[in-house]
Chains A and B, each alone.
Chain A
């Protein structure tokens, strides 16, 4: 297929227009356009083309280094954005080559190597269409392009397809088919967008545990059937200043007050927290003399990341983020946090700052009301003091229930909670926490549902507590004696059971530690270094680039259709023997075209002054020839002999009449 006129330059200009890079796109497109108009082409060899491909490869490597240094999370989008520039050398070399196509082997290092005696067949391709495709996809990587993107994609597709159309059918039929396809595409991409959103939502529901926490709602697995999926992936690391062996910590990332069906919700708005003075992080709550300290490492998976924190967090520092917010339940989130959050946390260990109880903290859903009342009556909760209620409920769950990761659904009962309390008496932490909240509320104690992690696995090697995904937990905050307290009624030892379900992974932990250490180097200890000197990593690439281009002078230039170049005469050292020739020519003894210098000297011997002069000039001619034909062992030494002698002869001839 022959590339269409202006196809690639147009795509490049469109890309520049949409990407705010017109300043670079227009000159580059003009250069491609110039290649259409000019007969000035280069006769590139395969090795020359390979060098241009290498240049693009080095640009790509440099862009990868830059993207990973500046914004690792969006590196792929950065690369996609600039891909037309990265691969510009390749299309330029095609447009300015006499061949007009590029050998496929130039793109593959393995194809470049050929075993002696066996050479792969060459296959040449036109990269115009690939380049236009890259321009289109690059433009599509910017969501702000809007409707112009689809219009451009349709236009360039139709433009490219025109060349490939079948000659069997009338052009009108082709136009009709293309128009119908484009119309269907317009409707189709909207439909795909809607389906995609639903699919994303479904995937989020399936893998929400891996996607970060939602502070407004907690979708539980209550009512599901099957096996609760647990992963041993390390999601956080925490170092507590006053850690004692065997001690566990509850790190919360969501507090909810309203149960609807099987999911918990929190209607609390987030309000910004002002940064503490001197850029020392954020003062979440007033400091307390009971304050402890911890260093918590986590990787945010969202732009708005909720931090898992110990109860009673008073201050957070140690990293930069655009905005810090918290809600009335003391859930804290940050906007645009760094890829690795290394938070210095001050905390009291008690949820002292949660908002006062509301009516919602005492509500029991209608479908569960009868069941909870029945169980409450059986436990005689209404006749007990708050302390006794706590003890009774805790005793009830820890002694009469057991922990299980099997999800048994609702069975023959109206709800999963009915099945749990009346039938199976087995379940996971969400069931225990939900049932506890409702029973406490039934007894008149305000209670809230809390999600987060149970940090219990201490690593002596790292000297930190490792928090895995399987440590995700749910528990309760109950309001007693004028303050909120944390209550966990899930039977003890469930952590060991969780670990049984998850296959161990020493290699995974080692890899996780290596990744964590590298992240610390990049984002914590080496952050300043990377910020200041990270781009210097491109220097070695630039050196390689220069080395590859060193031999670029071997490219042969073709200036006209016949492929003949007008070469300038080779510049050599100024040879003064020609000076002697011109002087003698002025005196009437020019050298004829057919004459060599030696035969000419023989002819003019009488003028020069006889045999002796001729012998002297013949010796100078030998030196002259040595210099001119590259046979001289030392040009400078020969020149020092030749030039003064010639000057002397010139003077002598000029003075003679």
Chain B
């Protein structure tokens, strides 16, 4: 068996054992087990030390506790999990579990374990993935791939829910437990089952009752404040419908006053307000003229750059939230080779939908920016301005910039980089000093 495969199977087996151990052996049990093994280590020479006596004692304690787990455990419980619609990466997820004791006897001293869907990666994923900054690890770590394994498991699991001691469950009563867990990564967080553990008399081992309770919650990307982007884009006539224009464009019916943007008709300028504000203010009417933004997310990340990709997704989500306002509409999303348009219907609920797409977007290392160009050419007429979040800067990506410039649409490009200063120097050398293309750190 090749070494990597051997390591993979070893880690898989060890992970499974560890999960089993976490459910079946309490913290005190681990301590007594460790005490037993340590005392056995020093028990070889019985004429020289008395540690063997402690080893015997610990062995008997463990045996008594293990015998206690043989007593059958058949709780009659009905369990339901109440999950929120969304969670957010790098934030706490709070939810509740309702437990109904359907038996005629009270249950106390139980422990609840959440079981997440098996997060162990496939062998192909294990071999092809690269942990962020893996090259910085020492030769041994790179050879054994243990940290890569930990990273993949953590990424797939998304969270680890700590066991929760249950309160007294009176017969026929329902109890609600508040649960919380810290979610590391975006995507679907799948709960598989719930385990109810009953500790033995000494509290060293648990007898486990498994209850299938599949549920899942979508974890949105991490969002944070991002620098505001002035796309300097002109408004266009869009066939988005009056429902869109009434929110973000202008029409014949007066709606509100707003700052003047290039392209606004002079006759709509509200001179009184302009005089008061010392800047041009224009009247806004309901019409089908509005500003439509698009977001282009670069998904062409190699396996070495998954951290960059995650940062880019997070930045994209942040812009999606920031740009939804009364002045513009962001309803086009380009990721990978696909285009997502959220203009259907009469509402403007596209923020949630776009975040859902971003929550599930995966890197596509086999494709490149050329594959996206046909979709951009096809849709460029619909776009007033665009925000591009790139993972690198090269000729293909520059072509995207040129395409929007030639079309007269506003464009702002942010290149996510581990070393933004160097990237900024590279961009300045290529594009000159401009605010259009800039680097952003992780």
A residues apposed to B, CB below 8 Å: 1, 77, 80, 115-118, 120-121, 129-130, 133, 136-137, 140-143, 145-146, 149-150, 153-154, 157, 160-161, 163-169, 173-174, 177-178, 180-182, 184-185, 188-189, 192-193, 196-197, 200
B1 within 8 A of A: no
Assembly CA distance A195 to B26 (angstroms): 32
Q: Nearest Cβ distance between residue A477 and chain B, in whole angstroms?
A: 35
Q: Are B133 and A154 in contact (CB under 8 A)?
A: no
A115 contacts across to B, CB distance below 8 A: 131-134, 136-137, 147
Contact A165 B60, CB 8 Å, known A137-B54, A141-B42: no
B151 contacts across to A, CB distance below 8 A: 118
Q: Nearest Cβ distance between residue A379 and chain B, in whole angstroms?
A: 49
Q: Which stretch in B200-208, B330-338, B383-391 binds the other chain?
A: B200-208
Q: Are A143 and B54 in contact (CB under 8 A)?
A: no
A-B contact pairs, 30 of them (CB 8 A): A80-B49, A115-B131, A115-B132, A115-B134, A115-B136, A115-B137, A115-B147, A118-B131, A118-B132, A118-B307, A133-B35, A137-B38, A140-B39, A141-B48, A141-B50, A142-B49, A149-B53, A150-B57, A153-B54, A161-B28, A161-B203, A165-B201, A166-B198, A166-B199, A185-B53, A188-B60, A189-B53, A192-B52, A193-B46, A196-B46
Q: Are B57 and A177 in contact (CB under 8 A)?
A: no
B58 within 8 A of A: yes
A174 contacts across to B, CB distance below 8 A: 201-202
B161 within 8 A of A: no
Assembly CA distance A163 to B46 (angstroms): 31
B residues apposed to A, CB below 8 Å: 26-28, 31-32, 34-35, 38-39, 42, 46-61, 64, 68, 108-110, 131-134, 136-137, 147, 150-151, 160, 198-204, 307, 442
A163 contacts across to B, CB distance below 8 A: 28
Assembly CA distance A136 to B50 (angstroms): 10
B34 contacts across to A, CB distance below 8 A: 130, 133
Assembly CA distance A146 to B58 (angstroms): 18
Q: Which residue of A lies closest to B31 (CB)?
A: A129
Q: Which residue of B lies closest to A139 (CB)?
A: B50
A197 contacts across to B, CB distance below 8 A: 46
Assembly CA distance A261 to B131 (angstroms): 69
Q: Nearest Cβ distance between residue A488 and chain B, in whole angstroms?
A: 38
Q: Are B133 and A118 in contact (CB under 8 A)?
A: yes
Q: Are A185 and B307 in contact (CB under 8 A)?
A: no
Q: Which residue of B lies closest to A116 (CB)?
A: B133
Q: Which residue of B lies closest to A126 (CB)?
A: B27
Q: Are B51 and A168 in contact (CB under 8 A)?
A: no
Contact A140 B201, CB 8 Å, known A181-B64, A188-B56: no
Q: Are B61 and A168 in contact (CB under 8 A)?
A: no
Q: Which residue of A lies closest to B28 (CB)?
A: A164
A77 contacts across to B, CB distance below 8 A: 48-49
B58 contacts across to A, CB distance below 8 A: 157
Contact A166 B61, CB 8 Å, known A137-B38, A200-B46: no
CB < 8 Å neighbour of A164 from B48, B59, B160, B204: B204
Q: Are B202 and A165 in contact (CB under 8 A)?
A: yes
B137 contacts across to A, CB distance below 8 A: 115
Q: Which residue of A lies closest to B27 (CB)?
A: A1
Assembly CA distance A196 to B46 (angstroms): 7
CB < 8 Å neighbour of A177 from B48, B64, B108, B109: B64
10 closest cross-chain pairs (CB), A and B = A164-B28, A168-B109, A164-B203, A167-B109, A140-B51, A189-B53, A185-B57, A189-B56, A166-B199, A115-B133
A153 contacts across to B, CB distance below 8 A: 53-54, 57
CB < 8 Å neighbour of B42 from A137, A154, A189: A137
Q: Which residue of A lies closest to B135 (CB)?
A: A115
A154 contacts across to B, CB distance below 8 A: 57
- The residue among B54, B198, B203, B307 with the most chain A CB atoms within 10 A of its own CB is B54
For the residues of B in contact with A, the DSSP-based class is helix
Assembly CA distance A501 to B198 (angstroms): 59
Assembly CA distance A180 to B60 (angstroms): 10
Q: Are B48 and A143 in contact (CB under 8 A)?
A: yes
B200 contacts across to A, CB distance below 8 A: 166
Contact A117 B133, CB 8 Å, known A157-B61, A180-B64: yes
Contact A173 B201, CB 8 Å, known A129-B31, A161-B61, A164-B28: yes
Q: Are B57 and A189 in contact (CB under 8 A)?
A: yes
Q: Nearest Cβ distance between residue B44 and chain A, in whole angstroms?
A: 9
A129 contacts across to B, CB distance below 8 A: 31
Q: Are A136 and B54 in contact (CB under 8 A)?
A: yes
Q: Nearest Cβ distance between residue B133 and chain A, in whole angstroms?
A: 4
Assembly CA distance A185 to B53 (angstroms): 8
Q: Which residue of B lies closest to A118 (CB)?
A: B132
Q: Which residue of A lies closest to B52 (CB)?
A: A192
B68 contacts across to A, CB distance below 8 A: 177
Assembly CA distance A142 to B32 (angstroms): 22
Q: Are B38 and A133 in contact (CB under 8 A)?
A: yes
Q: Nearest Cβ distance between residue B129 and chain A, in whole angstroms?
A: 13
Assembly CA distance A167 to B197 (angstroms): 13
B199 contacts across to A, CB distance below 8 A: 166, 168
Apart from A140-B54, A188-B56, 9 more pairs, CB < 8 Å: A115-B131, A137-B38, A137-B51, A166-B201, A177-B202, A178-B202, A184-B60, A185-B60, A193-B46
Q: Nearest Cβ distance between residue A100 and chain B, in whole angstroms?
A: 15
A167 contacts across to B, CB distance below 8 A: 108-109
Q: Which residue of B lies closest to A188 (CB)?
A: B56
A169 contacts across to B, CB distance below 8 A: 201
Assembly CA distance A128 to B151 (angstroms): 31
Assembly CA distance A136 to B58 (angstroms): 12
Assembly CA distance A167 to B110 (angstroms): 9
Q: Which residue of A lies closest to B146 (CB)?
A: A110
Assembly CA distance A356 to B55 (angstroms): 53
Assembly CA distance A120 to B146 (angstroms): 13
Q: Are B133 and A141 in contact (CB under 8 A)?
A: no
B48 contacts across to A, CB distance below 8 A: 77, 141, 143
Q: Which residue of B lies closest to A183 (CB)?
A: B60
Assembly CA distance A212 to B207 (angstroms): 51
Assembly CA distance A169 to B136 (angstroms): 52
Q: Nearest Cβ distance between residue B26 and chain A, in whole angstroms?
A: 7
Assembly CA distance A57 to B39 (angstroms): 21
Q: Nearest Cβ distance between residue B151 and chain A, in whole angstroms?
A: 6
CB < 8 Å neighbour of B307 from A117, A141, A143: A117
Q: Nearest Cβ distance between residue A270 and chain B, in whole angstroms?
A: 22
Assembly CA distance A630 to B150 (angstroms): 48
Contact A140 B42, CB 8 Å, known A77-B49, A118-B132, A153-B54: yes
A165 contacts across to B, CB distance below 8 A: 201-203
Assembly CA distance A140 to B55 (angstroms): 11
Q: Are B203 and A140 in contact (CB under 8 A)?
A: no
Q: Are B47 and A143 in contact (CB under 8 A)?
A: yes
Q: Nearest Cβ distance between residue A373 and chain B, in whole angstroms?
A: 46
Q: Are B46 and A141 in contact (CB under 8 A)?
A: no
Q: Nearest Cβ distance between residue B142 and chain A, in whole angstroms?
A: 12
A166 contacts across to B, CB distance below 8 A: 109, 198-203
Q: Nearest Cβ distance between residue B114 and chain A, in whole angstroms?
A: 16
Q: Nearest Cβ distance between residue A354 and chain B, in whole angstroms?
A: 34
Q: Are A177 and B136 in contact (CB under 8 A)?
A: no
Contact A80 B42, CB 8 Å, known A165-B201, A166-B109: yes
Q: Are B28 and A1 in contact (CB under 8 A)?
A: yes
Q: Nearest Cβ distance between residue B425 and chain A, in whole angstroms?
A: 21
Q: Which residue of B lies closest to A121 (CB)?
A: B160
Assembly CA distance A193 to B53 (angstroms): 8
